[in-house]
Structure 1
């Protein structure tokens, strides 16, 4: 136990900053583009339009319009002060609706999907997140990565406390059915291409939901056209068991990881395990699975637990993800020119060790 005290204190101290809170402003006062996010949540409603950390057995639906401030660095999110938001630098909400009827949510979502190529991206947040932090993160990712389609957020009941790991782990198990229901609602609303993006502990939750869908009803799986796990906080053997139950994994199936991830190191200590899926140094353990492991350790800074969403250099690199996606149908040699890194293949699994280039902007990516 003594060995756990120092890393826990370090993470607790690093989290002693203002947490993400929602501020709603009139639409005409906002600056920058608006990103609309549809939400499914198993959090309890805590206030006007805001959900808390309490668990709810009922899945609730909502929609939020989030203004992306013009004065910020790529990958950065600045949360407003409750009574003094700065719309030039802070993420703010300009509109919100909590649906009283599921049919109204499906109708609105269906109209949005019809106007956006029937493509959807569902983001599942990780450990230690408030409702607003997860909501604003997908708005930021969608804008910075120029993700097409309709953005959805599954918000599960995290305690939003750095010492709430065990509560969050139980909540992730509790929330599996809610994510499964949101995926089904998205397909029922007309989505024909769904990409699931999960972070940290949300990756375990997502794999459990995919497993249940695959075992119960194979008709939904063909609509899942891509899975992205970012710093997945999953035991490798558990992940392998989940993948085996799913069967044919949706493609592409991308895993972003780094052995510099301090949060996953702490998770390994807490759980008494040697490592996590998001901190592998080899893909040999995944060699029989159709997955691509993107090692982003070279771009890591700070805690290194959400590098693809916070590193400006890596975000610019991932702007070419469409080219990379297309190349995954080719052999490994055909991918080498698309990403600046080393490509290693172990049977079915591929590991791409990404590295920065001298100048990611301009001619170096052309």
Structure 2
């Protein structure tokens, strides 16, 4: 059975333009202003099969107009205004909204198709916004992706700030959407530099305002749940102010999924690229020194030990992990989620195989 989903996107990739001047897609490199400038849009994706596979519906890519530099007296045209106008019904009807940052080895098409398969596999009635940063979309492009993901932090921070502005603009008596953040693989590295950009500038500045001279140490709560899956990030990230120590401020809860069976993290990232111990391979270094909002969930017992990409894509392929994530997004208490077992370390759990 096939289902079609609308995927909202924000991208700091280089636009691909046809002879008529129309944007027909996005490439693997940073956009013109070193990746700080971003474009907004939407696309329809059809999802079929098991495992879920997505395919962009031809002719449905819509990139919103953007014109910031205008003549005096004329109004600017902002793609963000158009996207949040399209999302307004979801905001006022208290719908679920997921902001998704994909991992490495993703073309633009891969990223939006992946977002649609997540909605389908999770079975959540939600709107999804994918931040499509400039991944080369090749397995040998790891170093390229590492560099562009680092440079994409400020653009990701822009998206989060605008989302926060929209939420702040809602009436205190009006229904409020439930907003989650989901980051996979190197998308967590994007998140690190997004958090640092938010600390440097927590809120959008108005014309004539200056940025704070001293970086903030805390951030406003924007998300309900934050999920970090197969994070290609350092295992000490939550202990370091220059990494993700401030991240728990952004959400009511943070869940880190990890497995030592993750081939990409243990072989490619840590083994070949000589990165330190990975957050997505062993979880946080020391649960006792980090925020109590953070839970760590070991999925090793329900992810097959395979030397392929599946062990890195478990968050969207294996139902035991999916069911755990859906429970997290539904707001279930960490110690009450079905098929989780305590490990003896506070806030650290493992998913057990279903019996029968």
Q: TM-score range by the shorter chain?
A: 0.7 to 0.9
Q: In the alignment, is residue 99 of structure 1 matched against residue 64 of structure 2?
A: yes
Per-residue deviation at 1:315? 2.6
What is the aligned partner in structure 2 of residue 327 from structure 1?
Answer: 333
| Residue equivalent to 2:227 | 228
C-alpha separation in 2, matches of 1:76 and 1:247: 31
In 1, the alpha carbon distance for the partners of 2:144 and 2:8 equals 26
What is residue 33 of structure 1 aligned with on the other side?
3
Alignment equivalent of 2:319, drawn from 312, 324, 344: 312
**Residue matched to 2:274:** 272
- Cα 1:216–1:193 shift into 2, 3 Å: farther
Q: Structure 1 unaligned segments of length 5 or more: list them.
A: 1-30, 80-90, 360-366
Matches of 1:184 and 1:195, distance apart in 2: 14
Work out the CA distance in 1 between the residues paired with 2:318 and 2:247. 32
Structure 2 Cα separation of the partners of residues 315 and 32 of structure 1: 20
Deviation at 1:158, TM superposition (A): 0.6
5+ unaligned residues in a row in structure 2: which ranges? 18-22, 67-77, 168-175, 205-218
- From 148, 162, 168, the equivalent of 1:185 is 162
CA displacement, residues 175-232 of structure 1 (integer Å, 9 cap, x when unaligned) = 1111111122233344754311111111011132123324532797222222111100
Secondary structure (helix, strand or coil) at the match of 1:95 reads coil
Q: Following the alignment from structure 2 to structure 1, what is the Cα–Cα distance between the partners of residues 250 and 137?
A: 31
User: How far apart, CA to CA, are the structure 2 residues paired with 1:248 and 1:344?
Assistant: 25
Report the CA distance between 1:358 and its aligned residue. Answer: 3.0
Of 24, 48, 51, which aligns to 1:49?
Answer: 24
C-alpha distance in 1 between matches for 2:258 and 2:271: 18
1:217 alignment counterpart? 202
Any residues of structure 2 matched to 1:9-20 within 5 Å, and which? none
Shift of 1:273: 4.0
Output one character per residue of 1:238-264: Cα deviation in whole Å (capped at 9) or x when no partner: 443123345746221011110000100
Q: CA deviation at 1:317?
A: 5.0
Contact 1:109 1:186 in 2 (8 A): no
Aligned partner of residue 251 in structure 1, secondary structure: strand
2:124 to 132, 144, 147: 147
- Is 1:41–1:59's contact at 8 Å kept on the other side of the alignment? yes
Question: Using the alignment, how far apart are the partners of 1:141 and 1:93 within structure 2?
Answer: 20
Residue 261 (structure 1) aligns with: 262
CA contact (8 A) 1:45 1:51 kept: yes
Number of equivalenced pairs: 304
Corresponding residue number in structure 1 for 2:137: 160
Q: Residue 293 of structure 1: which of 279, 292, 296 is its match?
A: 296
Distance in 1 separating the partners of 2:118 and 2:54: 14
Is 2:117 aligned against 1:111? no
Contact 2:184/2:230, CA 8 A, preserved across alignment: yes
